[in-house]
Chain A
Amino acid sequence: MTEPSTPSSAALVRLVAGREISSRIRDKNFIISSIVIVVLLIGGIAFQVIANSGADAARLGIVGEAGRLGPAVQAQGEAVGVDVEVAEYDDAAAARAAVEDGEVDAALLDGTGSAPELLVENRDPTLEAVVGGAVSGLAISDRLLAAGVDAQSLPAVAVTPLGDAEDDQQRVIVAIVGVAVLYSLLILFSQFVAQGVVEEKASRVVELLLATMRPWQLLAGKIAGLGALGLGQIVLIGVVATGSALAFDVVSVPGELISTVVTVIAWFVLGYAFYASVFAVAASLVSRQEDLGSVIMPTTILLVIGFVVAIQAAGDPSGTLATVTSYVPGLSPLVMPVRQAAGEVAAWEVALAVVLMLVAIALIVRLGGRVYAGALLRTSGRTKLREALRAGRA
């Protein structure tokens, strides 16, 4: 029989972390929610693939020679992101039959004549607009030509693509999906931390724990254990999402997809450290799960604001709101990844946001640790922040 030894701080933190992981990992709700997230993600990507392939190709039947009409319709379709395949039919009856059989989505009769008519089985506003635009466009240019005006001489907007706008767009979409996942996981795991703190207080097991370790060791172990689990989950999601996106060929530039995913994961680590600490400290003020909602509400609202701003930032990554909030600790983990993905930030800006976040975390751990220590043993009702601070300092 070996004599009991004095465990080091690291050993105690590891023990606490190990308990958190092993009890959470066997929790049915946790397992189910993890599976649901992964399934939703893969499902979402698969849906994207199917939806894109379905919507892109519209088939249009044209009676007689397609002539200029075919290319005009296809050009018009391209402008709104719809591929149009053109099939030629000899007469109106054959075109009508083709529409009825579903061979084509629509058939255009007398496209260049005075009374053009579009036959459709199911109405499709996009296709109708495309065909309509092409027909009237041709008619206008014909009339202009007849009036002696060369359509070519009309001023046209020349488009010059700057940089890789389309790739940025793709990266921003990836970043939004990433931030949505990050936001859900931050809420989920911070809640786990908060519930764990209250559970220990409510069941009074905290008295036994504090007889063997210091409050900060308990807090560190809890946050580290659940954090490791959360990190594992976001990495898993990142790998699954990247893997399936590449497999389904949804993205064109894999390197940038991966760098965005890595950025999101890195911000998760910072964001989790921030929110888990705040949630744990807030939770230490109450002794019943029923009271938990009211104390974590302000922080939850901050998290929701961060998410909303991040979505907004995706549309306007260089706007004032996005720029300012991407430095604010607590908001930056949600907003900055979107700005980074949009390619609108310099390295120093990211570094500044990270430093500010680290400072905030250090402050919270220091002050919050004191509140936590002061409040843990007060099991009667709700402890005031100031009382807890005073008790923690004594």
Chain B
Amino acid sequence: MLEFDGLSKSYGNNRVLEGVAFTVAPGSMFGFCGANGAGKTTTMRIAMGLARADAGEVRWRGRALDQALRRRIGYMPEERGLYPKMKVGEQLAYFARLHGLDSRAAARAAEQWAERLGLGARRGDQVEKLSLGNQQRVQLAAALVGRPEVLILDEPFSGLDPVGVDALAEALLEQVRAGVPVVFSSHQLDLVERLCDSVGILARGRMVATGTVTELRQRESGRVLRVVVPDAPQGWASTLSGVRVVSQQGGDTLLELDGGADEQAVLAAALRTGRVTHFAWREPTLVELFREAVADPAERGEEVAA
């Protein structure tokens, strides 16, 4: 297990993290979401020893992370960093060696990862001569080249074209299948929803939701039913008990049901108005869950989720 346990961090009077905690099982992917400035990067930097937590620790297999354990982590920082004048292949081999591979294994790993991420032809080029998208791929390869036991990636998908996204997603899934826990932060929630076994949402330094996407959906208070009744009059459902009309446009009606309300009674009422062309629970998308979760209760509507 990769455990983030009660991380707190302040910069002066600014409390950046307050008791951030979540766990990532080996062989699973954890999507780390949160508005800009919510504290995702700080959390990851603490894990990598680049920032010091005021309280709490990060553990891998029950041991607090130290320099030796961190060397087994593949890390991609938010601010990309490579030697601009070093050649792609040599650079990857160098990072592989820093992660403990011997020189022959490092050279081979560098070659493989460059090939895998579509950089085979650019191995002999200096990093600064590459396009930003390709530099991004080198950065990813640098995180993967040391055969990591754990992957911590800060915004790995930003700046990649769709082909690059697919290549990276495939590479990450392969790592997961090999038993590596993967944590990555992203604003691309559709990607998170598609790839991640579990999701954590961070807002103002606190974890406001963690769990699988399904769990998050079920936890959502109230259940929303979408009923399309083309012939129904306006306000057809307003008299039903335990039902609140969220919206009605023509016959397209969104209803929020209390815990005790019976959706079959709603269906019967709908049928009494005439034809029913759509009747289903509406699953909130991760985007909606995210908006709900990060909205500040005190200033609801003012905070803009990215």
On whether the beta carbons of A204 and B98 are closer than 8 Å, the reply is: no
A394 to B83, CA, bound (A): 29
On whether the beta carbons of B100 and A207 are closer than 8 Å, the reply is: no
On whether the beta carbons of A15 and B98 are closer than 8 Å, the reply is: yes
Query: What 1/0 flags go to B27-71 for Cβ under 8 Å of A?
Result: 000000000000000000000111110000000000000011011
A68 to B156, CA, bound (A): 96
Contact partner of A4 (CB less than 8 A), chosen from B82, B86, B100, is B100
Contact partner of B75 (CB less than 8 A), chosen from A23, A206, A211, A394, is A211
On whether the beta carbons of A199 and B77 are closer than 8 Å, the reply is: no
- Whether a CB of chain B sits under 8 angstroms from the CB of A270 is no
On whether the beta carbons of B72 and A208 are closer than 8 Å, the reply is: no
On whether the beta carbons of A203 and B100 are closer than 8 Å, the reply is: no
A209 to B81, CA, bound (A): 9
On whether the beta carbons of A4 and B68 are closer than 8 Å, the reply is: no
Query: What 1/0 flags go to A195-209 for Cβ under 8 Å of B?
Result: 000011001111111
From A5-13, A258-266, A290-298, A332-340, the one touching the partner chain is A5-13
Residues of B within 8 A of A205 (CB): 81-83
What residue of chain A has the Cβ atom nearest to residue B95's Cβ? A208
> Binding site of A, secondary structure by majority: helix, strand, loop or mixed?
loop
On whether the beta carbons of A5 and B100 are closer than 8 Å, the reply is: yes
- Whether a CB of chain B sits under 8 angstroms from the CB of A312 is no
Residues of B within 8 A of A12 (CB): 98
Residues of A within 8 A of B67 (CB): 213-214
Q: A4-B72, A4-B146 are in contact. Are A208 and B81 (CB under 8 A)?
A: yes
On whether the beta carbons of B85 and A23 are closer than 8 Å, the reply is: yes
On whether the beta carbons of A1 and B105 are closer than 8 Å, the reply is: yes
User: B60 to chain A: closest CB distance in Å?
Assistant: 14
By a beta-carbon cutoff of 8 Å, the part of chain A in contact with chain B is 1-2, 4-7, 12, 15, 19, 23, 199-200, 203-214, 377, 379, 394
On whether the beta carbons of B105 and A2 are closer than 8 Å, the reply is: yes
On whether the beta carbons of A7 and B98 are closer than 8 Å, the reply is: yes
Q: A203-B83, A208-B81 are in contact. Are A2 and B102 (CB under 8 A)?
A: yes
What residue of chain A has the Cβ atom nearest to residue B149's Cβ? A4
**Could you show 25 A-B contacts with beta carbons less than 8 Å apart?**
A1-B105, A2-B101, A2-B102, A4-B101, A4-B146, A5-B100, A6-B100, A7-B71, A7-B97, A19-B94, A200-B83, A204-B79, A207-B48, A207-B75, A207-B77, A208-B95, A210-B50, A211-B48, A211-B70, A211-B73, A212-B70, A212-B71, A212-B98, A377-B51, A379-B79
User: A199 to chain B: closest CB distance in Å?
Assistant: 7
User: A391 to chain B: closest CB distance in Å?
Assistant: 9
A7 to B80, CA, bound (A): 25
A-B pairs, 8 with minimum CB distance: A204-B81, A4-B100, A205-B81, A204-B79, A207-B77, A212-B98, A211-B48, A5-B100
User: A245 to chain B: closest CB distance in Å?
Assistant: 38
Residues of A within 8 A of B73 (CB): 211
Residues of A within 8 A of B82 (CB): 203, 205, 208
Residues of A within 8 A of B49 (CB): 210-211
Residues of B within 8 A of A23 (CB): 83, 85-86
Residues of B within 8 A of A200 (CB): 83
On whether the beta carbons of A6 and B68 are closer than 8 Å, the reply is: yes
- Whether a CB of chain A sits under 8 angstroms from the CB of B250 is no
A318 to B230, CA, bound (A): 109
On whether the beta carbons of A15 and B97 are closer than 8 Å, the reply is: yes
Residues of A within 8 A of B201 (CB): none
Query: What 1/0 flags go to B80-123 for Cβ under 8 Å of A?
Result: 11111110000000110111111001000000000000000000
